[in-house]
């Protein structure tokens, strides 16, 4: 009888422990399935059906909408909209909440930094941007430049995801052999502000941080509206000083924010002219002839840190230009953050600085 009672007690104890283990196992399973996400982040791994991302990010197989990042329902991967080597839109599968990021595009690094994901960056390209200097040197690997990647260094950094911009489109296939390549760009037709919002939403969706984007974008639309109201009826030439010369820019690429969204009438080039790379070379007689209300100047040499280059002001303010209404009225605007305009257009902090350059010179 004593043996029977003891056996029954053992069975009851085992059953109780099993029940407790079942409860603990639910938590343990939850923790084990976090895919390495930071505990307590409370972000959502949302599907592309979420209106906040405009359908640009789709959760990977089996992932449900509105599941909390770090729970057992977190997707292992998700599908986003990116570009390929031909600059054509593609669907790209990337790991959800990747831990090791190789970043060869300053606009993407800007967005990752704004989202608080800098600790995941294991390697970057060289940059002159003062607000991103914490990603150069130290334990962060140098992966080359935004125009030429060091493929061996990229491979050695063992990235989960690689970010590039248009300057590295020709290296897309080679980099894709190492890890998925996220290639995003601004679209002049869409506008810089909307391009930043879209690209930030795509990047944020990879980490389940979509809800942060509108907070980071707050105020940009109102600032554009104020600039557009100011520019009504005003003409402008947008130019880039480079290697001692002056190139005029259209509304199809670099600095298009000034004439598309801030709404100055661009009289520097024909509306159908293609000038997206470095603009079209122009003489200073052209500025005199067109006599715009405003001249905006991007100093390319300052943007890329060219040693010994002449300052944009020394190039532009010659005897011819000093006879124009723009000069006499103090309407020659030198963009104060050239590196942001030239190397990081499409970033959140870059956009803030670009708008500030216009506001400080105009409002």
Name the band, by pLDDT with cuts 50, 70 and 90, for residue 276.
Answer: low
Do residues 234 and 293 touch, judged by C-beta distance below 8 A? yes
Indicate if 197 and 288 belong to the same structural domain.
no
Tokens of 195: 């391009």
What angle do the packed helices 192-206 and 106-114 form, to 10 degrees?
60
Residues 187 and 151 occupy one common structural domain: yes
Q: Does 102 have pLDDT greater than 90?
A: yes
Domains of the chain: total: 2
Domain boundary among 217, 241, 259: 217
Residue 28 lies in a domain: no
Asked if 274 and 316 sit in the same domain, the reply is yes
Pair (48, 174) in one structural domain: yes
Q: Let me know if residue 30 belongs to a domain.
A: no
37 part of a folded domain: no
Residues 312, 295: contact at Cβ < 8 Å? Answer: no
For 149, phi then psi, to 5°, come to -80, 145
Q: What is the pLDDT of residues 299-335, one digit of tens each?
A: 999 999 998 888 999 999 999 999 999 999 999 999 9
Inside any domain, residue 6: no
The mean pLDDT of 198-214, rounded to a whole number, is 97
Residue 271 or residue 342, greater confidence = 342
pLDDT at res. 3: 40
Identify which of 260, 266, 313 has the alpha carbon closest to the alpha carbon of residue 290: 266
Q: Which residues are CB-contacts of 313 (< 8 A; sequence separation ≥ 6)?
A: 334
Q: Mean pLDDT for the chain?
A: 84
Q: Is the pLDDT assigned to residue 54 strictly greater than 50?
A: no
Q: Are residues 231 and 210 in the same domain?
A: no
Q: Are residues 185 and 59 in the same domain?
A: yes
318 lies in a domain? Answer: yes
CATH number assigned to the domain comprising residue 351? 3.40.50.1980
The answer to whether position 25 is within a domain reads no
Q: Which residue has the higher pLDDT, 53 or 205?
A: 205
Claim to verify: residue 208 and residue 243 sit in the same structural domain = no
- 154 and 235 in one domain? no
| Shared-domain flag, residues 296 and 162 | no
Q: Range of 257's domain?
A: 227-362
Tell me the per-residue pLDDT of 8-41, one tens digit each, with 9 for 90 and over: 443 444 444 344 344 433 333 333 333 333 333 3
How sure is the predictor about 277, in pLDDT bands with cuts at 50, 70 and 90?
low
CA distance 343 to 23: 53
Alpha-carbon distance of 258 to 260, in angstroms, equals 6
- Domain final residue pick, 199, 217, 235: 217
- In 117-260, alpha helices (H): 151-156, 172-176, 192-206, 211-217, 220-231, 256
279 Rama class: left (phi>0) / alpha (psi -120 to 50) / beta: left
pLDDT band for 278, please (50, 70, 90 cuts).
confident
Of 217, 248, 274, the one marking the end of a domain is 217
Q: Does residue 264 sit within a domain?
A: yes
Q: Are 49 and 16 in contact (CB under 8 A)?
A: no
Q: Are residues 265 and 160 in the same domain?
A: no
Domain membership flag for residue 339 = yes
Residue 275: the pLDDT is 60
**Are both 213 and 238 inside the same structural domain?**
no
Q: Do 242 and 170 share a structural domain?
A: no
């Amino acid at each position: 009888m004593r043996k029977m009672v003891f056996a029954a007690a053992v069975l009851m104890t085992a059953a109780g422990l099993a029940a407790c283990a079942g409860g603990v196992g639910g938590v343990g399973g939850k923790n084990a399935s976090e895919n390495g996400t930071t505990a307590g982040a409370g972000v959502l791994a949302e599907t592309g059906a979420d209106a906040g991302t405009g359908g640009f990010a789709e959760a990977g197989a089996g992932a449900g909408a509105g599941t909390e990042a770090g729970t057992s329902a977190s997707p292992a991967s998700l599908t986003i909209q990116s570009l390929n080597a031909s600059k054509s839109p593609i669907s790209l599968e990337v790991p959800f909440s990747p831990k090791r990021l190789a970043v060869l595009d300053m606009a993407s690094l800007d967005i990752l930094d704004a989202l608080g994901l800098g600790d995941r960056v294991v390697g970057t390209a060289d940059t002159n941007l003062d607000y991103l200097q914490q990603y150069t040197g130290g334990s962060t690997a140098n992966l080359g430049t935004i125009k030429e990647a060091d493929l061996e260094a990229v491979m050695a950094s063992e990235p989960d995801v690689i970010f590039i911009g248009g300057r590295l489109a020709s290296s897309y296939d080679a980099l894709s052999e190492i890890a998925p390549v996220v290639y995003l760009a601004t679209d002049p037709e869409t506008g810089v502000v909307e391009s930043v919002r879209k690209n930030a939403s795509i990047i944020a969706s990879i980490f389940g941080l979509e809800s942060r984007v509108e907070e980071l974008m707050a105020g940009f639309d109102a600032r554009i509206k104020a600039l557009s109201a100011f520019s009504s009826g005003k003409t402008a030439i947008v130019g880039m000083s480079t290697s001692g010369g002056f190139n005029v820019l259209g509304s199809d690429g670099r600095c298009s924010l000034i004439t598309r969204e801030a709404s100055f009438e661009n009289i520097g080039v024909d509306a159908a002219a293609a000038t997206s790379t470095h603009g079209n070379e122009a003489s200073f007689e052209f500025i005199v002839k067109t006599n715009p209300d405003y001249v905006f100047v991007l100093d390319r040499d300052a943007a890329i840190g060219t040693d010994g280059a002449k300052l944009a002001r020394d190039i532009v303010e010659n005897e011819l230009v000093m006879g124009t209404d723009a000069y006499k009225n103090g309407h020659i605007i030198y963009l104060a953050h050239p590196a942001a305009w030239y190397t990081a257009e499409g970033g959140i902090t870059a956009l803030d600085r670009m708008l500030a350059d216009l506001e400080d010179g105009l409002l």
